Amino acid sequence: MFELNQLEQLLYVHKYGTISKAAEELHLSQSALSRSIQKLESDLQVSLFSRQKNKMELNKNGKLAVDLAAKLLDQAHSMTAQLRSFDRSQRTISLGFCAPAPLWTIPAIFSDIYPEMTISSEIKNTDTLLQGLGEELFHMIVLPCKIESDEFICTKYVEEHLYFSLPPAHPLSSRKTLHFRDLNGETMLLRSKLGFWHDIHETTMPDTHFLIQEESFAFDELVKLSALPSFTSNLVMQREGIPPNRITIPIMDKEANVTYYCLYKTKNEKMLKGFLQRLKM
Amino acid sequence: MFELNQLEQLLYVHKYGTISKAAEELHLSQSALSRSIQKLESDLQVSLFSRQKNKMELNKNGKLAVDLAAKLLDQAHSMTAQLRSFDRSQRTISLGFCAPAPLWTIPAIFSDIYPEMTISSEIKNTDTLLQGLGEELFHMIVLPCKIESDEFICTKYVEEHLYFSLPPAHPLSSRKTLHFRDLNGETMLLRSKLGFWHDIHETTMPDTHFLIQEESFAFDELVKLSALPSFTSNLVMQREGIPPNRITIPIMDKEANVTYYCLYKTKNEKMLKGFLQRLKM
DNA sequence: GTAAGTTACGAGCGACGTAAAAATG
DNA sequence: CATTTTTACGTCGCTCGTAACTTAC
């Protein structure tokens, strides 16, 4: 039987026209490549070149062989790619999130419990998450609401409560509580467009213009230096501390106070066992 | 890049369950095969087996790899088969004949002119020959009639004249000429069912029972020893001599006197040039 | 104890590179 | 004379087999 090695060499000879150039490209001596091609012909029991002492040219067999070799090598490369991808997929846990906050903690927990696994995390909107869970693109997703279904298991994770973050000079900064509508119409800073929070802001504060700053450090600077209102939450403050020179006032709307739930297929319960036990502690 | 060799070994390990048995079947030592499989895994950068000191078992990756390897090897084998078949088809001249007589001479001429070529000769009926010529199963066919067509070139080859071969005691043995109908109804010896002659006999002598003898020597013996009439022809007698103790009487029907024509596609004219020049001599 | 797999070690075959020869433009 | 291919020859490396070790039934 011939070997893939030889087919690759054949393709090089075809690509570069002569044994000499192909050998150079392959980092081989001319003689070595010449012999290797001869061996391929003898393995196939078919002559692939017309030889005239000084010149080699693919004959009809050779041209057919080049086509077939290209296909075979293609399939071989696809085989390794497929295997590596499959192997990788077995070593990765794919998580989907509706918001940034749970993403700050959950992937770290998984890495802790399954140190040899790759943890893949994405933020998507709720519909995409549910569809992805159905298609097994995610092993687990985190939603801002409970889902009752036979297909899935739903476990409470954590609550997030939204706050307005106001400069002390703001007319509403002395209030103990606020609602979305109280600031509707003002210009606000927003850390990112990602997640379901953005949808909630669009519906509960339709007249507000949001200055969106994707980059985290730049956002913090803007909050510090500008007089614009922005949002924060119990989880943000737990992670980053209370913002300096800002008044934080809880938002009382029910949409501003969510509970995150972990959702996963029954078949993945065993795989997620370690994580679920950690949740109970 | 891995090699086909290693995939074959992987399939053997799968087929025979253990490295040891697979190694035995491959005429290899256990250790060599063990190392080779390890190298395959390292080439693929994917583990294919779950190892427990004493035991090896294909893991999920391995099962996928076995499937993919089988397909790849299949394609590799098909590649060599396709190449060899194509190569062979380039080295063979395929000839189709309507009757045995032209086959006695034409293949020999081709072998003479193209000593490096394989000459493939078959006897088929006229329809099959024409269809085969159209589908390029034959490079040239020989028919008992002229064909006028743009697709094909038609060249006269030789005439064959049929004779009755009668024992001297036969009531008609003193005739100078005969027709098919003169012997219709008698039992006759026939050398072979092959070719268009058989069809002609069936239509021109519908009441005759033919004793068919495929084997040439046996046929000659029967002709010598039996009192049954049979056929011969100018070409048969040219090849084998005049049958002893037999009277040969020409058959005057037009169906009994045919001219053979060589028929080939225009595109094959160049390839057949040597043969066609020989015909003119 | 038998049967399995991995690892160490030495040997042989095969593939490599250098170099020479032959041929072409 | 430069370029290309093939062949001869000596060397190196890879893969092989033997053998020792380990483990499981």
Reported as a pLDDT band with limits 50, 70 and 90, residue B35 is very high
Band (B271; pLDDT cuts 50, 70, 90): confident
A96 with A215, same domain: the answer is: no
Q: Please list, residue by residue across B223-250, b when 16 or more beta carbons sit within 10 angstroms of its beta carbon and e when fewer do.
A: beeeebbbbbbbbbeeeeeebeebbbbb
A61, A182: one domain: no
**Using N-to-C axis directions, what is the helix angle for A100-113 and A273-280, rounded to 10°?**
110
pLDDT averaged over every residue in chain B = 92
Whichever domain contains A69, its CATH number is: 1.10.10.10
For residues B238 and B270, state if they share a domain: no
Q: What is the DSSP letter of B243?
A: P
Whether residue A115 sits in one domain with residue A183: no
Contact predicate A77/A90, CB 8 Å: no
Question: Could you say which residues from 77 to 136 on chain A have a Cβ atom under 8 Å away from some Cβ of chain B?
Answer: 79-80, 82-84, 86-87, 90
Q: Are residues A225 and A236 in the same domain?
A: yes
Q: Structurally, how many domains does chain A consist of?
A: 3
Fill in the amino acid letter for B42.
Answer: S
pLDDT digits (tens, 9 = 90+) for B36-90: 999 999 999 999 999 988 889 999 999 999 999 999 999 999 999 999 999 999 8
Residues B80 and B130 occupy one common structural domain? no
Q: What is the pLDDT of residue B193?
A: 78
Buried-exposed string A105-128: b where 16+ CB fall within 10 A, e elsewhere? ebbeebeeebeeeebbbbbbebeb
SS3 B36: helix
> Same structural domain for residues A67 and A78?
yes
Contacts of B197 (CB under 8 A, 6+ apart): B99, B162, B231
- Residue in chain A closest to B40 (alpha carbons) equals A80
pLDDT profile of chain A (281 residues), mean per 10: 94 93 92 94 93 89 95 96 93 94 95 92 94 94 93 94 93 93 92 86 92 86 86 93 90 95 93 89 76
User: Domain range holding B224?
Assistant: 159-258
Is there a single domain that holds both residue B119 and residue B133?
A: yes
A243 and A163, same structural domain? yes
The protein side of the strand D contact, defined by CB less than 7 Å from any of its atoms, consists of A 18-21, 30-31, 34-35, 37-38, 49, 51, 54-56; B 27-32, 35-36, 39, 52-55
Q: Domain boundary residue among A72, A88, A104?
A: A88
CATH of the domain at B214: 3.40.190.10
Pairing state between β B92-97 and B140-143: parallel
Q: Is A45 on the interface with B (CB under 8 A)?
A: yes
Same structural domain, A163 and A242? yes
Residue B124: what pLDDT? Answer: 93
Question: Does A9 lie in the same domain as A135?
Answer: no
Tell me whether residues A86 and B64 touch, CB distance under 8 A: yes
Residues B105 and B148 in one domain: yes
Domain end point (choices A68, A88, A108):
A88
Q: Which residues of A are less than 8 Å from B79 in CB distance?
A: 65, 68-69, 72
| B2 contacts A76? CB cut-off 8 A | yes
Using a CB–CB cutoff of 8 Å, tell me whether B267 touches chain A: no
Q: Does B47 touch chain A (CB under 8 A)?
A: yes
The pLDDT of residue B82: 95
Q: Is the pLDDT of residue B97 over 90?
A: yes
| In chain B, % of residues over pLDDT 90 | 77
Whether residue A205 contacts residue A229, with contact meaning beta carbons closer than 8 Å, is answered with no
